[in-house]
């Protein structure tokens, strides 16, 4: 949710639930609260370290709401999420208080994508992939400070599950 000072609240449900990742991306820590998003399912994406969500009437996704993001921080998220995600306004329920809150989140643009499967697990991600994802975010921030070269190649290469070759397009 945006206010007149350009502050945003964003529901995150994957790697951005991890405070260390958020601190690297925004170069500062952020307040967050636990929340539940109904009407969506969180999927694994074949070959990638991060999840996505798509609409599903009976689905529920737990995550966190990052509070007080600036316009520039929201642009960072937009760049990281890229064209595969669409930023949408959704309603979440805060876990501690049952308060409803209008926030923004990133929804997978292709809900029929054949690479979506199962349920993404945050604890498993922390154990197996956090360090690699942290490296990818550090590279993104280096690129942002010196934007020569292709961000897509530099970042996408690092968030692939197998560390495969960088995309050619």
Residues 28-81: pLDDT tens digits?
Answer: 988 999 999 999 999 999 998 889 999 999 999 999 999 999 999 999 899 888
Task: Verify whether residue 81 is a known catalytic residue.
Answer: yes
How far apart are the C-alpha atoms of 88 and 73, rounded to whole Å? 16
- Active-site hit among 18, 81, 104, 156: 81
In a domain, 119, yes or no: yes
Under 8 Å between Cβ of 125 and 49: yes
- CATH, residue 45: 3.10.490.10
The closest of 106, 96, 95 to 14, measured between CA atoms, is 106
pLDDT digit string, tens, across residues 73-132: 999 899 888 899 999 999 999 998 999 999 999 999 998 999 999 999 999 999 999 988
Give pTM, 2 decimals: 0.82
Domain that includes residue 40, residue range: 8-159
In a domain, 166, yes or no: no
In a domain, 98, yes or no: yes
Q: Which residues contact 47 (CB under 8 A, 6 or more apart)?
A: 115, 160, 161, 162, 164
Count of domains observed in the chain: 1
In a domain, 3, yes or no: no
């Amino acid at each position: 949710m945006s206010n007149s000072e350009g502050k945003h609240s964003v529901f995150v449900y994957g790697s951005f639930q991890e405070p260390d990742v958020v601190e690297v991306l925004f170069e500062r820590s952020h307040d967050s609260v636990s929340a539940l998003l109904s009407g969506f399912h969180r999927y694994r994406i074949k070959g990638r370290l991060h999840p996505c969500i798509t609409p599903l009437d009976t689905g529920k996704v737990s995550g966190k709401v990052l509070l007080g993001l600036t316009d520039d921080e929201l642009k960072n998220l937009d760049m990281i999420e890229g064209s595969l995600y669409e930023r949408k306004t959704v309603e979440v329920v805060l876990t501690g208080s049952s308060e409803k809150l209008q926030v923004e989140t990133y929804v997978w643009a292709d809900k029929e994508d054949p690479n979506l499967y199962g349920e993404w697990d945050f604890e498993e991600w922390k154990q197996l992939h956090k360090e690699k994802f942290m490296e990818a975010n550090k590279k993104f921030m280096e690129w942002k400070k010196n934007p020569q070269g292709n961000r897509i190649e530099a970042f996408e290469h690092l968030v692939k599950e197998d560390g495969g070759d960088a995309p050619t397009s």
